[in-house]
Homo-oligomer: A and B are copies of this chain.
Amino acid sequence: MTVTGQSIIAGVPTSGTAGTFRAVDPSTDEPIGPEVKALTIDELRAATTAAAGAFPDYRATAPQDRARFLETVAEQIEAIGDELPETAAAESGLPTARVQGERTRTCGQLRVFAGVVRQGDHLGVRVDPAQPQREPLPRPDLRMRQVPIGPVAVFGASNFPLAFSTAGGDTASALAAGCPVVVKGHNAHPGTAELVGRAVARAAELSGMPAGVFSLVFGIGNEIGAALVTDPAIQGVGFTGSRGGGLALVAQAAKRPQPIPVYAEMSSVNPVVVLPGALEGDRSGLATGYVTSLTNGSGQFCTNPGLLFLPSGASGDRFLDAVGEAVRTCSGQTMLTPQIRAHFDERASFLASAPAVATVATGTVGQAANAPAPAVFATELDDFVAEEGLAEEVFGAAGLVVRYPDVESLATVLGGLEGQLTATIHGTDSDLDDARVIVPVLETRAGRILWGGWPTGVEVSEAMVHGGPYPATSDPRSTSVGTLAIERWQRPVCYQDLPAALLPDAVRDENPWQLVRRVDGTLQLP
């Protein structure tokens, strides 16, 4: 395939007329790939109109057909071959092996959602049979299922050009729910987006889906995103990115004549709590694990452990020494974009010059462009609370270690943290009493609580929560990774006394889709 710089509107490659831009290889700062022809807002409307037009047919597809479509998307992405990881690596600065792994995850994720669609538990079917003899009033026949909310806008993420972008988690879960998707391609990886977008469009064609079920649109500036979110056809938004970007979309969605839900996964410092017992064991392994998680992918994970709480005292000091040693061996890796690198530099300088913050160690600047030196800083709990800005995310490979005098003070500070995607505890059996104090506090602050590991690495599974209280996300009642993510794109509908001839298959007495159903208050397996 050759990347053309075109949007894909309901299957049709489309050259926009609003100007052009080009991708940049962040490891060289050189432009790469063709000129991307940005759409005007009028041109964008063709995509949302097609999505609205496709919705009635797409939402009515049988589970088997919709699942096959998702699987075909995965097959078509795999069929692109090496061009995909090569393009993604060039546009993102991420190592090819990492991008290959991300492709595996992306395709696996699509197949997981195909399985979800086939199983159908997300339809949440409930049947309350009529009770015509009930006194004082008969009970009608009531049946509930979840229905898709309508066309969804997805914003590609810079840090996961495959797994959180064109055919990533938001797109896969929305398509699985029965919602057409319009993806706003991320301008940092337009070639990657186009390759994947064409694969999705081809899969729709091969699977007999309405063409409007998927579009990929390119634009310049924030106007095109705002136009997408405020388009009357769009009924929900998925976003992974900065807090500023996410909150702008939330505000736009709220100001619509008909407000719509926005699922923005925004920012998190992912606190790690080291309890005293953890320092009695393999301190150096713990330090290496921390620095590896912190610097992995140039620290550009939503779940990067930006904040580590460490007991004051000699054991903590020795751990910090080991951390310093590990950091000094680290070389900078190319960041996703020059802008992201500039922002990292700014935040790292802020920490380096903050009065109550000491620099534990820095690594070396990488040889390629935009590869700043990793760094670890340290401060005391009181200063962390008193000084403005220390709890804010540094997007990149820089961490702040906060020394705490006792678990009670720590628990108070943890309870005052902003909402987080994850919170991690390192401890041993001797720390369980302290942990019992801390876990309930962390439950109110984070979507996922880990013991003894590191938060980077997010499993796509049934029990995963990649979400959390504001501002980690704009809507803590959900997750953007894992099978529960499909529920974001649904709403319940109840059918009262409908004749069998009008009932949707999901709620018919014969249970043709073999669904788990709650009948008269009791779950029944098919």
Contacts and interface: CB of A to CB of B under 8 A. Distances in A.
B499 A464 contact: no
B137 A440 contact: no
Contact of A491 (B477, B494, B498, B516): B477
Contacts of A520: 462
Interface in A238-282: 250, 254, 258-259, 261
Contacts of A443: 147, 493
Interface string A415-426: 000110000000
Contacts of A258: 418-419, 469-471
A463 B126 contact: yes
Contacts of A124: 484
A492 interface: yes
Interface in A414-467: 418-419, 429, 432, 435-436, 439-440, 443-444, 446-453, 457, 459, 461-465, 467
Contacts of A444: 147, 150
Interface stretch (A22-30, A35-43, A79-87, A138-146): A138-146
A194 B495 CA distance: 37
A493 B449 contact: yes
A501 interface: yes
A497 B450 contact: yes
A385 interface: no
Contacts of A115: 521
A126 B462 contact: yes
Interface residues of A, number: 77
Contact of A493 (B140, B446, B525): B446
A467 B492 contact: yes
Contacts of A259: 250, 470, 474
A250 B470 CA distance: 16
A261 B461 CA distance: 26
A451 B112 CA distance: 37
A496 interface: yes
| Interface hub of A147, A496, A502 (most chain B Cβ within 10 A) | A496
B502 A447 contact: no
A158 to B, nearest CB: 24
A518 B518 CA distance: 15
A60 interface: yes
A157 interface: no
A507 to B, nearest CB: 9
A285 interface: no
28 contacts: A115-B521, A128-B462, A128-B463, A139-B459, A140-B453, A142-B463, A144-B462, A144-B463, A149-B476, A254-B254, A432-B502, A436-B502, A439-B502, A446-B493, A447-B492, A448-B496, A449-B498, A450-B498, A453-B497, A463-B494, A465-B494, A469-B491, A477-B490, A477-B491, A477-B492, A478-B492, A479-B492, A523-B523
